[in-house]
Amino acid sequence: MDYKSITTFIGSESELKMTLPAAMDFTRTQDGHLSTCLLGVDMTPAGGFYMGASPILLQETLERAQGDAEALEKLARKQLDQQTLRWSTESAVVQFGGLPGMVGLRARFSDLVIQARPYGRDALPTQEAVIESALFEGCAPVLVVPETGLGPKFGQRIVVAWNQSNEALAAVRRALPLLREADQVCVVIVDPPSHSPERSDPGGLLTQMLARHGVRAEVSVLAKTLPRVSDVLMRHMGDIDAGLLVMGAYGHSRLREAILGGATRNLLENTEWPVFLAH
């Protein structure tokens, strides 16, 4: 399956500048259709809508969100009008608590969702919520783009983070169109447990499956010489000059990763490379 239906959700001008060019470039390479959803998010806490609250105040917050969405849509259409690709735009107003349902519904019918890295100087709290909603409520893979964009080496050398989990296998299956086109695919296993079912041949069954899809992959078993698995993966990305990381998202619960950290959150906070996620 190729990526013919591609979606991106944008909630600010800084996100527009970072995400839309990458989404347009990727859509053009896939000969697909890009759906751009421009968000106006009402951040009023749910507790603010109490009995007796001023209806004028509530209306003002919604009107402000509507104005933000329409202004973003105008900027997006200005950029898209100059492109030779199939596209559509939609402005959407939603309260923050309703974001998962709105994003999930649209992501469910997308082959791929493209989003900016959700952490950084200009990042909004909605960006992390959109990525998680696309993964969990929409069951869609997400390509996370860093501030530098996809880069000229995107997809040439791909690192697959493999830990035998269902999330990692889902990411590999969703990334097959990219893996088939890559010049080099490196399956990376960090500090595999001695009692693993694959202890005699780490990554062997995965590379066998990939070979049947025309993907020639090599396996690298790495020691955990840095405090976090994400640090080892990022160092290996730099060592082989890779352009994309494919990994399963949130093998632990989102709450646990938010409090204690985890590979997904650490990578999204620090990565300089595009990351392809699936759950």
The least confident of 102-111, 153-162, 173-182, 194-203 is 194-203
Q: Give the integer Cα–Cα distance in Å for 89 and 29.
A: 20
Question: Residue 69's pLDDT band (boundaries 50, 70, 90)?
Answer: very high
Residue 25 sits in the same domain as residue 109: yes
Tokens 């993964």 label which residue?
Answer: 135
The reported pLDDT for the residue numbered 59 is 77
Question: Residue 46's pLDDT band (boundaries 50, 70, 90)?
Answer: low
Residue 117 sits in the same domain as residue 172: no
The DSSP bridge partners found for residue 86 are 33
The kind and range of the H/E element at 258 are helix 254-260
Contact between 44 and 103 under an 8 Å Cβ cutoff? The reply is no
Give the residue numbers spanning the domain of 73.
5-145
Number of domains in the chain: 2
Does residue 150 sit within a domain? no
Residue 30 sits in the same domain as residue 137: yes
Question: Residue 192's pLDDT band (boundaries 50, 70, 90)?
Answer: confident
Backbone angles phi, psi at 241, to 5 degrees: 60, 50
Do the bridges between strand 275-278 and strand 142-145 make them parallel or antiparallel, or are there none, so unpaired? antiparallel
Residue 124 sits in the same domain as residue 232: no
pTM: 0.91
Does residue 152 sit within a domain? no
* Per-residue b or e along 118-129, where b marks 16 or more CB atoms closer than 10 Å to that residue's CB: beeeebbebbbb
User: Which one, of 173, 160, 186, lies nearest residue 213 by Cα?
Assistant: 173
CATH of the domain at 65: 3.40.50.620
